[in-house]
Amino acid sequence: MRPKKWLSSLGISSLLLASVLSGCSSNDASKSDKTEIVLSGWGGNPVEKKLLNEVLADFEKEHPDIDVKLNTINDQYMDVLKTRLIGGTAADVFYLDAFEAPALIETGAIEPLNKYVTDEFNVNDFEKPMIDAFKSDGELYGLPKDYSTLALFYNKKMFKEHGIAGPPKTWEELEQIAKKLTDAEKQVYGLGVMPQIERMYYLAESHGGEVITDGRASFADDKVVKAIQPIVDMRLKDKSAATPSEVGAGQSAGEMFGRGKAAMVVEGNWNIPYMEETFPDIDYGTAELPTVNGKKGTMSFTVGYAMNSESKHKKESWELIEYLTGKEGMKKWTSKGLALPTRKSVAAELGFDQDELRRPLVNGASYATVWQDGPSLPIVMNNFNNQFLSAYLGDRTLKEALEDAEKQANREIKVTE
């Protein structure tokens, strides 16, 4: 009897064990001669998604032995990506925002691309600031798929009603126009402001100060404070500026503008299709950002394709990146004007510099400050934005807020070291 009992208990245990373990085994049933590679990106709008699918279909047609699986991460893209990279389940090729690139490059999770790039691919065709954003020690870690700069969006109807001929050319002009266009009773403000460093980085450095020096926050510098002060003064002294959330327009300056709560906003290329879709009745124009100190300036944001350094199909992954950022792929991707092409030849071919709304954005590319400044930028951004808001709302002076934020940012940077 006894050995039998033994056996049965062993049987039950192993059964339970087996059922647990079977959950872990992977079913690699789909065995075809095609190599499957995965591409990860964020959702974007439906038009964008459709466009990307078309480009990928074209690629698959040209490379019949490669099957591209598109995997979109809709929310908290970077957090998900990092977790997957750690777990070894990240895609072969993925979107990478230039802003987060340096920190990721430092960890070695991203494949260096120099050895893949051929002369034929012509790296020199890319806008220099955009491609430099993905470089580290001369090595290339990503190829910019597109970019956007910031420009001034202004409401033509409001301008006409107040007899203003055109968009401001200088910052001083902007301040005066904003005052004229403000109607406190109707909650209409001259300028809609996003109180974020990513929108005013160029402005912060316009008086010769630096936001980050040698990887440490340095934005409490008087030169930086002086440069940003006008933004705060517009809200607190002139009362001609406000944030979107103050007028119930969510967190988006575009929405504030579309709802007619702001006569001017500083926005990027993405705002053009958004206005078309959501607020088609608003008659607006775009202009290059007003000069500060007689100098032109704007921000530029770029996203690139990067390769997972642990990818099992590096050759195929490169072929995909090569196609997507090559002339043909990029032309198709940017043809609808959702984003601007980073290849000069493509930009010239598509003629966005002739487009009335996009010209100011394209013109900005040559003098824009790229939103990327080393691995500590995310921490600096977080602390700046957090404390800047209190100064912007008038709880304390800008200098105090920024000194506090700088101290905290540098402590946090130290924590990560």
Beta bridge partners of 136: 139
User: What distance in Å separates the CA atoms of residue 117 and residue 309, rounded to the nearest whole number?
Assistant: 16
User: What distance in Å separates the CA atoms of residue 232 and residue 105, rounded to the nearest whole number?
Assistant: 36
Residue ranges that bind another protein, judged by CB under 8 A: 2, 5-6, 9-10, 12-13, 16-17, 20, 76, 78-79, 82-83, 85-86, 103-104, 106-110, 243, 245-248, 250-251, 309, 375, 378-379, 382, 385-387, 389-390, 393, 395, 407-408, 411-412, 415-417
Report the residue number, 211 or 379, with the smaller CB distance to another protein: 379
Report the residue number, 126 or 141, with the smaller CB distance to another protein: 141
User: What distance in Å separates the CA atoms of residue 68 and residue 48, rounded to the nearest whole number?
Assistant: 17
Report the residue number, 3 or 280, with the smaller CB distance to another protein: 3
Report the residue number, 215 or 337, with the smaller CB distance to another protein: 215
Q: Are 282 and 156 in contact (CB under 8 A)?
A: no
User: What distance in Å separates the CA atoms of residue 68 and residue 60, rounded to the nearest whole number?
Assistant: 7
User: What distance in Å separates the CA atoms of residue 273 and residue 190, rounded to the nearest whole number?
Assistant: 23
Shortest CB 200 distance to another protein, Å: 17
Q: Are 70 and 39 in contact (CB under 8 A)?
A: yes
Shortest CB 120 distance to another protein, Å: 30
Shortest CB 398 distance to another protein, Å: 14
3-state secondary structure of 325: coil
Neighbouring CB atoms inside 10 A of 63's CB total: 16
Here the tokens at position 91 are: 């895609």
Report the residue number, 237 or 396, with the smaller CB distance to another protein: 396
Report the residue number, 24 or 29, with the smaller CB distance to another protein: 24
Report the residue number, 13 or 278, with the smaller CB distance to another protein: 13
Report the residue number, 71 or 83, with the smaller CB distance to another protein: 83
Shortest CB 213 distance to another protein, Å: 20
Report the residue number, 46 or 87, with the smaller CB distance to another protein: 87
Shortest CB 85 distance to another protein, Å: 6
Shortest CB 27 distance to another protein, Å: 21
User: What distance in Å separates the CA atoms of residue 193 and residue 382, rounded to the nearest whole number?
Assistant: 17
User: What distance in Å separates the CA atoms of residue 310 and residue 130, rounded to the nearest whole number?
Assistant: 25
Amino acid at 70: L
Of 71, 74, 111, 73, residue with least CA distance to 91? 71
Report the residue number, 363 or 397, with the smaller CB distance to another protein: 397
User: What distance in Å separates the CA atoms of residue 358 and residue 131, rounded to the nearest whole number?
Assistant: 21
Beta bridge partners of 259: none
DSSP letter for each residue of 9-66: HHHHHHHHHHHHHHTTS-------SSEEEEEEEE---HHHHHHHHHHHHHHHHH-TTE
Shortest CB 249 distance to another protein, Å: 8
Report the residue number, 357 or 409, with the smaller CB distance to another protein: 409
Burial class from Cβ neighbours inside 10 Å (0-12, 13-18, 19+) for residue 243 reads: buried
Here the tokens at position 51 are: 């466009």
Shortest CB 235 distance to another protein, Å: 13
Shortest CB 181 distance to another protein, Å: 20
Shortest CB 193 distance to another protein, Å: 12
Residues 6+ apart with CB under 8 A from 325: 143, 144, 145, 304, 305, 342, 343
Q: Where are the beta strands (DSSP E) in 275-343?
A: 284-287, 299-307
Shortest CB 408 distance to another protein, Å: 5
